[in-house]
């Protein structure tokens, strides 16, 4: 960075920052962790989207760093959130599947920040059933929360709202910042429900893309040949598994009269045309794809608009210079690749998650990294940003050296993944696996199948080379690496690692009956 720019950034930090303790130290940065639900890199401009633009998210990338190889450890909502809070893999933080209440008694990122003098807040989607711990302020959706007119729990009390949830969550994030204690730095987790199923667009975006045709992925009509049986067992196809509700052939049930009128004005004529056309076969799949993907992108558009409001607020208040802005999602997503919606798989589209970090004065604007990172790293990274030593018990690594442009020579060269939720929605078999910069080995251990992919030659993962003699050496290396990672991350034997007996015990215990609302009373 040129000296003049660096000096300007330092001046901004010194003039705008809030600090505690030693005045000779630079102030600790504020941190805004922006988290969406199911937003994949294929629908983000900075990652080269073919379908939509995201000017405000792109601004975080052009003013900061884009991580091109950030992966999750367990691609589903609640487990991913637990990993972010704890810096631990699912088998150690206890949240292997959606459903059971998160154990909020354990060491978490917000607790450590709060103890060190940060104001901590979470607004928006929480999704962990137990009451949030470690936050000075929380204002969260109940469970998944609706797209319109949410009831939310603010510091233990329920409040009903009328409006679009993405806008409301942003109003609350700005309100928290405007009322914060300006003598201390803050860490705000600003977490959207969008663009989670079933993708209900906001009132301003109901007609967006109406006259456009979105490009289809090459694998929309995938027949799953060339792979094992796992991909044929799922129930997440655009062709068969989307409901009338998902496809907006029936309107949402919780709209106000005015909202419903606007909704029907947008979808009514399009639905009439669809009913008249009597589509079948591949034509029907293609129509469903267009309807689905446009609604998803409309939800992303609202997220992007609202992130713009946050960035503008930081500018207006003179906070941008000393506020780290992090953007990520709880995992990736399928926008028709392999014929799917949803996530869960260790295949690329859902394994990869966006990660953008703007940190003025530290991160080179417009930079990128292809180091292998995981959501496991988020808690240690944020602690490091705040000048705190991450606890040795956390399994992630701080990304701060990478953000400073100095990737460690001994950075990890493979990542571990484990998906547990079966039986469960969309019937994806349990699997674990290892991915390095070129190969991916997946073990569907309950059905006794392995898959090996050469991502350089087969980026869409269409040809399982597990049985190909040309890859026998690679297979041995990848199996050894999987065993090494199992030991390194202290995985129990597969036979003992079943989340469902635990869920049953949980369901009987008084602890798990304490839902979020009950905890608040
Ligand atoms: Ca999710």
pLDDT in tens, 72-89: 999 999 999 999 999 999
How far is residue 446 CA from its own chain's centroid? 27
Angle at 107 between CA 106 and CA 109, to 5 degrees: 130
Cα 331 to middle of ligand 1, angstroms: 6
* 183-240 pLDDT per residue, tens: 999 999 999 999 999 999 999 999 999 999 999 999 999 999 999 999 999 999 999 9
Q: Per-residue pLDDT for 437 more than 60?
A: yes
Statement: residue 508 has pLDDT above 80: no
Q: Are strands 119-124 and 186-191 parallel, antiparallel or unpaired?
A: parallel
Decide if pLDDT at 34 tops 60: yes
Averaged over 170-188, what is the pLDDT? 98
DSSP state of 410: T
Question: If pLDDT is split at 50, 70 and 90, which confidence band does 516 have?
Answer: very low
CA of 316 to the centre of ligand 1 (A): 32
Cα(420) to centroid(ligand 1), Å = 15
Q: What is the pLDDT of residues 239-278, one digit of tens each?
A: 999 999 999 999 999 999 999 999 999 999 999 999 999 9
- In the reported structure, the alpha carbon of residue 342 is separated from the centroid of ligand 1 by a whole-number distance in angstroms of 8
Whole-prediction pTM value? 0.92
DSSP 37-75: SS--GGG-GGGT-SS---HHHHHHHHTSEEESSEE-SS-
Mean pLDDT is lowest, of 23-37, 131-145, 162-176, 361-375, for 23-37
Q: Higher pLDDT residue, 14 or 69?
A: 69
Q: How far away, in angstroms, is 83 Cα from ligand 1 center?
A: 13
Give the pLDDT score at 23. 57
- In the structure, what pLDDT confidence band is assigned to residue 499 with cuts at 50, 70 and 90? confident
In the chain, how long is the greatest CA-to-CA distance? 72
For ligand 1, the distance from its centroid to the CA atom of residue 26, given in whole angstroms, is 36
> What distance in angstroms lies between residue 330's CA and the mean position of ligand 1's atoms?
5
**Ligand 1 midpoint to CA 193 (Å):** 9
Q: Is the per-residue pLDDT at 14 higher than 50?
A: no
User: Which of 374-388, 456-470, 496-510 has the lowest average pLDDT?
Assistant: 496-510
Interval between CA 97 and ligand 1 midpoint (Å): 12
Cα 271-341-42 angle, rounded to 5 deg? 105
Q: Residue 19 has what pLDDT? A: 41
| Domains of the chain, each with CATH number or no CATH | 7-20+40-201+291-404+413-520 (3.40.720.10)
Ligand 1 centroid, distance to 344 Cα (angstroms): 9
| pLDDT interval class at 501 (50, 70, 90) | low
Residue 196 C-alpha to ligand 1 middle, in angstroms?
Answer: 7
Q: Measure 275 CA to ligand 1 centroid, in angstroms.
A: 32
Residue 92 Cα to ligand 1 midpoint, Å, equals: 20
SS3 content of the chain, % helix, strand, coil (to 5): 35, 15, 45
At 519 the pLDDT is: 35
List 338's β-bridge partners, or say none: none
- Percent of the chain at pLDDT > 90 equals 90
Spacing, Cα 463 to ligand 1 middle (Å)? 27
Interval between CA 75 and ligand 1 midpoint (Å): 7
């Amino acid at each position: 960075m040129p000296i003049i720019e660096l000096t300007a950034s330092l001046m901004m930090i010194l003039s705008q920052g809030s600090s505690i303790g030693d005045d000779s130290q630079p102030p600790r940065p504020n941190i805004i962790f922006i988290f969406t639900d199911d937003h994949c890199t294929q629908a983000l401009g900075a990652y080269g989207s073919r379908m939509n633009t995201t000017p405000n998210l792109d601004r975080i990338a052009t003013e900061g760093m884009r991580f091109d190889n950030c992966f999750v450890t367990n691609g589903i909502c609640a487990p991913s959130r637990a990993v972010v809070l704890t810096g631990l893999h699912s088998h150690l933080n206890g949240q292997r599947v959606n459903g059971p209440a998160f154990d909020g008694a354990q060491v978490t990122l917000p607790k450590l920040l709060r103890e060190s003098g940060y104001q901590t807040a979470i607004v928006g989607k929480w999704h962990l059933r137990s009451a949030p711990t470690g936050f000075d302020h929380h204002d969260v959706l109940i469970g998944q929360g609706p797209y319109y007119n949410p009831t939310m729990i603010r510091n233990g009390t329920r409040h009903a709202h009328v409006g679009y949830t993405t806008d409301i969550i942003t109003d609350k994030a700005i309100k928290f910042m405007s009322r914060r204690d300006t003598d201390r730095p803050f860490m705000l987790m600003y977490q959207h429900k969008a663009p989670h199923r079933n993708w209900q667009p906001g009132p301003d975006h109901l007609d967006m893309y109406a006259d456009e045709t979105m490009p289809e992925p090459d694998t929309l009509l995938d027949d799953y040949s060339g792979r094992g049986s796992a991909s044929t067992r799922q129930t997440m196809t655009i062709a068969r598994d989307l409901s009338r509700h998902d496809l907006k052939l029936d309107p949402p049930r919780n709209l106000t009269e005015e909202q419903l009128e606007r909704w029907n004005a947008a979808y009514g004529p399009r639905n009439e045309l669809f009913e008249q056309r009597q589509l079948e076969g591949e034509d029907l799949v293609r129509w469903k794809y267009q309807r689905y993907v446009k609604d998803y992108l409309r939800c992303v558009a609202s997220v992007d608009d609202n992130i713009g409001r946050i960035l503008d607020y930081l500018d207006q208040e003179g906070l941008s210079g000393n506020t780290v802005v992090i953007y990520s999602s709880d995992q990736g997503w399928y926008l028709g690749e392999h014929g799917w919606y949803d996530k869960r798989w260790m295949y690329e589209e859902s394994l990869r998650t966006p990660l953008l970090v703007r940190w003025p004065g530290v991160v080179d604007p417009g930079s990128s990294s292809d180091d292998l990172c995981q959501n496991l790293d988020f808690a240690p990274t944020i602690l490091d940003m705040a000048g705190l030593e991450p606890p040795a018990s956390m399994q992630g690594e701080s990304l701060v050296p990478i953000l400073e442009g100095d990737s460690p020579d001994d950075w990890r060269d493979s990542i571990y993944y484990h998906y547990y939720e079966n039986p469960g929605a969309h019937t994806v078999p349990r699997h674990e696996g290892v991915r390095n910069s070129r190969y991916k080995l997946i073990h569907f251990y309950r059905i006794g199948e392995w898959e090996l992919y050469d991502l350089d030659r087969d980026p869409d993962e269409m040809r399982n080379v597990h049985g190909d003699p040309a890859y026998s050496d690679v297979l041995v290396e990848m199996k050894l690496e999987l065993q090494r990672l199992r030991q390194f991350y202290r995985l129990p034997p597969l036979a003992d690692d079943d989340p469902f007996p635990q869920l049953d015990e949980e369901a009987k215990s008084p602890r798990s009956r304490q839902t979020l609302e009950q905890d608040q009373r």
